[in-house]
Amino acid sequence: MGSPRDVAERAAKWVLSDVAERPTKKARKVAVDAWEEAGAEDVAAGASAPELSAEDLEPGAVVLYWADPDQGNPGWRGVISDAFVPLDEFWVCEEESGEVVRDESGDIVHFMSSQLELVARPPIAPPNPRQAEGSPGGVLIVGSEQQMMKMLNHFGKAQYKERREPHSLLAFPCHECDQAKILQEAVGGTDPELKKFAQELRPDLHVAVRAYHLKHAVQELGPDLLRMEGFYLLSALNVPYSWEDVEAVKGWKKKWRREVCNQIDVGPTARSLHEAEDATPEDTARRALGQQLGVVVSLVLWDEEVQRTLRQHLDVELPLHFTDVNDGRITVLLLPNDALVHMQSGSLIFSEAPDADYLAEDFGVEDEADEGGHMDAAEPEEDLEPVAAVVPKPQGKTMNQWEKEQAQFAHLPKLPADWIRVISQKTKEVYFFNKKTHEASFDLPEVPLPPGWTKQVSKSTGKTYYFHSAKRLSQFDAPTL
């Protein structure tokens, strides 16, 4: 019958195999229990991996290649990009460059399993039976450059005193999210200090950047992603758990932390296991986004009809959801360019712009259906740029018309260049709109300060004031150019 580890590995492969007839719940539990039992026997820190066959080396696995122990060469680190198991042939991408390994003639090297040493398997594990009441949930945010910068700045730079989840964020241009190059992009964007910190957490392993989850997400999003110029994917980087964190838990979770979450993994914006207060995987995703990144997106923008309309406006086909390799339901959240952004209780809040056309309930209803029942999306306004299809059109007016009506706001503080005031038809509130970036906000945009002036916050009162160091002058009113 074999050792517990052999039983666990065979059962896990059975559970995760892509066959038409899935195993019963009882069989799945047997597989997971065997996986946990094998993990309970692995008590020695840094225990060496068992000998592997070609079937163990699947795309996404981190390996060592060209090792020569007799010459003192530990080998080079790479990630398997393609596996041809019946032929015992594998293509490997270099860890540092993300490029496929080639020989001196420029031909792709076909490695055999005996020429490779496994460092870490792909981040896949049998389902957690203790999460049977709810699936994991996550979110992958797609947004503009300005929105990405706001979230990156809000999250802050990575710190290396203790592990956090996620530990860092990366924004990938959608038009560069080619499946064949995503590992290279991930490796190139990873801070060397992050790699050093990750290696300190798991000194028993060769820690590498593993873009398995991100590559799977890009595959699920489809080819239209590459047409989305000016949009970005916000991805999370998670580092391994330390041995202290591994020993702090038991059973399935201990095995998960030790055997699966042991590399720098690049994946969706936020993801979490189901918790008791989560009614749906979307609730799990919203909770993870708030807890891990301090970002909140209004329920209106989570609405599937709103998300479909945004996709129609941009003429792209992106799935609303997809299932990741560990049975998590990932929501693909497209942020409109005109989403309002503000801070509240330490969280960065994204909400819908008043009167935005993606909120219209009759979107596409007046269009005549063709013989197959399909409808054509509404044509954008002639005087708007193509990307402005998601720009609000309050009271049926274009931005050019609102620009001509700014005299009614002459008594209010001056706005920076490219900003105008707009009145919401629904709420009658005044908000601010940037004609150049299509950014909208209820918060007053900051006017550029004259030379020598800086913005300060009083430590005693918390009030904002302005200070000129050379003149030793301070005032509460913002100085003008």
112-165: pLDDT as tens digits: 988 898 877 788 877 776 666 788 999 999 999 999 999 999 999 888 989 999
Q: What ranges in 237-330 are assigned the alpha helix state H?
A: 243-247, 251-255, 281-288, 299-302, 304-314
Query: What residues does 343 pair with on adjacent strands?
Result: 348
Using the predicted structure, report yes or no on whether residue 379 has a pLDDT greater than 50.
no
- Which position has the higher pLDDT, 293 or 11? 293
Using the predicted structure, report yes or no on whether residue 44 has a pLDDT greater than 70.
no
The verdict on residue 29 lying in a domain is yes
For residues 443 and 460, is the Cβ–Cβ distance under 8 A?
A: no
* Residue range 391-397: mean pLDDT, rounded: 48
Please give the Cα distance from 32 to 15 (Å, whole number).
9
Phi and psi dihedrals of 407, rounded to 5?
-60, -30
Using the predicted structure, report yes or no on whether residue 256 has a pLDDT greater than 60.
yes
C-alpha 350, offset from chain centre: 16
Instruction: Work out how many domains the chain is built from and give that number.
Output: 3
- The whole-number pLDDT of residue 52 equals 53
Residue with tokens 């590399």: 263
Same domain, 269 and 346: no
Please give the Cα distance from 282 to 253 (Å, whole number).
22
Same domain, 222 and 171: yes
Same domain, 27 and 143: no
CA dihedral 206, 14, 212, 95 (to 10 degrees): 30
The verdict on residue 371 lying in a domain is no
Supply the range of the domain harboring residue 209: 129-335
Q: Which helix (H) or strand (E) holds 434?
A: strand 430-434
Please give the Cα distance from 475 to 463 (Å, whole number).
11
Query: What residues does 68 pair with on adjacent strands?
Result: 73
For residues 152 and 143, is the Cβ–Cβ distance under 8 A?
A: no
Lowest mean pLDDT among 139-148, 161-170, 251-260, 469-478: 469-478
The verdict on residue 403 lying in a domain is yes
Amino acid at residue number 312: Q
Contacting residues for 471 by C-beta, under 8 A, at least 6 apart: 452
For residues 179 and 37, is the Cβ–Cβ distance under 8 A?
A: no
Same domain, 344 and 304: no
How buried is residue 374: exposed, middle or buried, by Cβ count under 10 Å (0-12/13-18/19+)?
exposed
Same domain, 289 and 346: no
Same domain, 352 and 304: no
Same domain, 175 and 291: yes
Using the predicted structure, report yes or no on whether residue 395 has a pLDDT greater than 60.
no
DSSP designation for 88: T
Token pair in block for residue 214: 């991100």
Same domain, 7 and 155: no
Same domain, 177 and 277: yes
Using the predicted structure, report yes or no on whether residue 364 has a pLDDT greater than 80.
no
The verdict on residue 286 lying in a domain is yes
Query: 242-269: string of b/e by CB count within 10 Å (b at 16+)?
Result: bbebbeeeebbbbbbbbbbbbbbbbbbb
Token pair in block for residue 83: 């596996």
| Total residue count of the chain as it appears in this document | 481
Mean pLDDT for all residues in the chain = 78
Please give the Cα distance from 15 to 11 (Å, whole number).
6
Query: What residues does 414 pair with on adjacent strands?
Result: none
Same domain, 329 and 202: yes
The verdict on residue 50 lying in a domain is no
Same domain, 312 and 354: no
Closest of 316, 317, 302, 324 to residue 236, by C-alpha: 324
The verdict on residue 480 lying in a domain is no
User: What are the DSSP calls for 381-420, one per residue?
Assistant: PTTS-GGGGGS--GGG--HHHHHHTGGGGTTSPPPPTTEE
Using the predicted structure, report yes or no on whether residue 321 has a pLDDT greater than 90.
yes
Contacting residues for 172 by C-beta, under 8 A, at least 6 apart: 182, 185, 186, 189, 214, 232, 233, 235
Q: What's the pLDDT tens digit per position in 422-431? A: 887 666 778 8
Percent of the chain with pLDDT over 90: 32
Q: What's the pLDDT tens digit per position in 13-38? A: 433 333 333 334 444 444 445 544 54
Q: pTM for the whole thing? A: 0.63
The verdict on residue 341 lying in a domain is yes
The verdict on residue 287 lying in a domain is yes
Same domain, 354 and 230: no
